[in-house]
Structure 1
Amino acid sequence: MTLDVRIQQSVVANLSSRPAPVRTGPFVIGVDPSVDSPGINYATPLPGLEISRADVTALVAAFRSYARKPRLEYVVSTAPGLERLLLDAGFTVEERHEYLVCTPGTIEQLPAPGGYTLREPITDADRAAMIAAQNAAFGGDPISTDADIARIAALQARGGIAVMALAPDGTCAGGGQAVPPNDGVSEVAGIAVTKHHRRRGIAGAMTAEITRRLFVAGAEIAWLEASGEDSWRVYERVGYRPTGRRLYIALD
């Protein structure tokens, strides 16, 4: 089994763990009734299955029936003809990314900067603080909803990892998480540091700690995507290496 296929299967498993996943033909849609965000409610193809125009039409209809924006994320090589079918159906490419992979043999531990501590959010108050910091770091409102808090708690209960960074004054400076491993593979995501605390090494330390915890729990492969050159350099210092390509594509 190729690494691309293993990564794609981990995406399928992640979406299948949503509160109300939908299987339609060769696709799975990760539906979460509590939120309509396209970044959560998206689809991905099952690797190795034939995909037709009729399958794409049915996929769009399924999205519409749940009042969700038709959107997909997937490893390109595992569905080589899919992009053409989606473009013909009116989809537009949002982004193309390389994904990076880390293994127990490549990970480097990066300590938290002086005065900062890294730990798991244990209470709902912890989770709320972490989510608010992540939202602020990504340019949103520094708030967290009950649904957000429940989502992180459920992720942890299923074997996922969450880590928050606490500043010297006790406030949350950022956070990140990893989904529960599937067949030894887990995605690390949501690594974010609020503006005032950036460029101190916190993002690298959080990424390293989340990845370390995954490997201690038995994961074999951790993977993630970098949003720009700065984050790319951070992840490479932790031991992540570029490996394959992913596509984000949606129908407006």
Structure 2
Amino acid sequence: MDMQVQSFAVANLRRRPETVEAGGFVAGFVPGTDSPYINYATPLPGARPTRQDVTALIGRFRERGLLPRLEFAPEAAPEVEPALRAAGFTTEAVHEYLVCAPDTLAPPRHAGAPRVETPATDEEFLRLDAALAEAFGGLFPASAEGAARLRRTQEGGGAVRFVRDPHGGAAGGASCSAPAEGTAELSGVGTRPAHRGRGVAAAVTASLAGAMFEAGARSVWLEYSGEGSRRVYERVGFRPRGTRLYVSLPTAERD
């Protein structure tokens, strides 16, 4: 699964408005934002980068005033991590990823399960973006561009789902990328604090996975942020399969 997830990461970055490929790396950039969570690189599966390759990659970020940063499944390219460490990259995080297949998907079927919807209007995308911003504690501030990214995901072959709150806003939701290499990444699962513990995350996660299977994906994968969320995802059919590594170059190394 590591090779499939890493191949997906490459294909997904190649969808960015601006893509640079060099030395066994693919870097994806989105003009108008300096967010390191949007602008980052990943290696090709099996890449064997030289010191010069890594230096060139760093330069691609520096010339744009961006933090050199990578996300990847280390087992799919074992020689990449040592090359990055030698250049001064340090670990931001190591995340386990979970995978769901059509035969393990278990959507909530109890009578009180939330009703999941697909946003269609600009207002619904804006309300969902605001709900996710609150769910993640302002890490990603609500914005028109955030709502536009959600719409692009929906219109680009991916899927976006949300649960409406009693006042017509969004209690929570999530999105899933368009499939590539037989799999799709489900991300940004978030529920407003006032609506947690009511099955919102489980409902939207299962709905998105089901939508991707209907679109032809053979699997859907995601990363979780804590044991509580892991239990939610496991209840709807996700199982642990590997890890992903997040690394970046400290500021002192960039000056």
In the superposition, the TM-score normalised over structure 2's length comes to 0.93
Q: Would you say 1:125 and 2:123 are equivalent positions?
A: yes
Alignment-derived partner of residue 51 in structure 1: 49
Q: Report how far residue 143 of structure 1 moved.
A: 5.2
* Aligned partners of 2:113 and 2:203 also within 8 Å: no
Residues 95-244 of structure 1: matches in 2 within 5 Å?
95-111=93-109, 114=112, 116-140=114-138, 144-244=142-242
* Distance in structure 2 (CA, Å) of the matches to 1:112 and 1:145: 35
Alignment-derived partner of residue 246 in structure 1: 244
In the superposition, the TM-score normalised over structure 1's length comes to 0.94
* Distance in structure 2 (CA, Å) of the matches to 1:162 and 1:242: 23
Query: Which one of the candidate residues 78, 81, 85 is aligned to 1:80?
Result: 78
SS across alignment from 2:29: coil
* Distance in structure 2 (CA, Å) of the matches to 1:31 and 1:16: 9
* Distance in structure 1 (CA, Å) of the matches to 2:133 and 2:110: 21
**Residue by residue, what CA displacement relative to the aligned partner does 1:12-44 show, whole Å, maximum 9, x if unpaired?**
111111111121221111100121111111110
Which residue identity lines up with residue 166 of structure 1 in the other structure? R
Q: Report how far residue 159 of structure 1 moved.
A: 0.4
Q: Would you say 1:63 and 2:64 are equivalent positions?
A: no
SS across alignment from 1:192: strand
* Aligned partners of 1:93 and 1:248 also within 8 Å: yes
* Distance in structure 1 (CA, Å) of the matches to 2:124 and 2:195: 18
* Aligned partners of 1:111 and 1:205 also within 8 Å: no
* Distance in structure 2 (CA, Å) of the matches to 1:179 and 1:219: 11
Which residue identity lines up with residue 61 of structure 2 in the other structure? F
Which residue identity lines up with residue 117 of structure 1 in the other structure? R
* Distance in structure 2 (CA, Å) of the matches to 1:113 and 1:162: 23
SS across alignment from 1:21: strand
SS across alignment from 1:231: helix
| Structure 2 portions without partners, runs of 5+ | 251-255
* Distance in structure 1 (CA, Å) of the matches to 2:53 and 2:91: 19
How many residues end up aligned between the 2 structures?
250
* Aligned partners of 1:97 and 1:246 also within 8 Å: yes
The 3 A distance-change label for structure 1 pair 107 and 232 is same
* Aligned partners of 1:34 and 1:147 also within 8 Å: no
Which residue identity lines up with residue 30 of structure 2 in the other structure? D
Q: Report how far residue 145 of structure 1 moved.
A: 2.2
Q: Report how far residue 112 of structure 1 moved.
A: 8.1
Q: Report how far residue 141 of structure 1 moved.
A: 7.3
* Distance in structure 2 (CA, Å) of the matches to 1:235 and 1:104: 14
* Distance in structure 2 (CA, Å) of the matches to 1:7 and 1:45: 12
Q: Report how far residue 236 of structure 1 moved.
A: 0.5
* Aligned partners of 1:112 and 1:202 also within 8 Å: no
The 3 A distance-change label for structure 1 pair 111 and 66 is farther
* Distance in structure 2 (CA, Å) of the matches to 1:189 and 1:94: 18
* Distance in structure 2 (CA, Å) of the matches to 1:70 and 1:112: 46
* Aligned partners of 2:48 and 2:79 also within 8 Å: no
| Structure 1 portions without partners, runs of 5+ | none
* Distance in structure 2 (CA, Å) of the matches to 1:65 and 1:17: 21
Alignment-derived partner of residue 32 in structure 1: 30
Which residue identity lines up with residue 71 of structure 2 in the other structure? E
Query: Which one of the candidate residues 5, 9, 12 is aligned to 1:11?
Result: 9
* Distance in structure 2 (CA, Å) of the matches to 1:125 and 1:143: 17
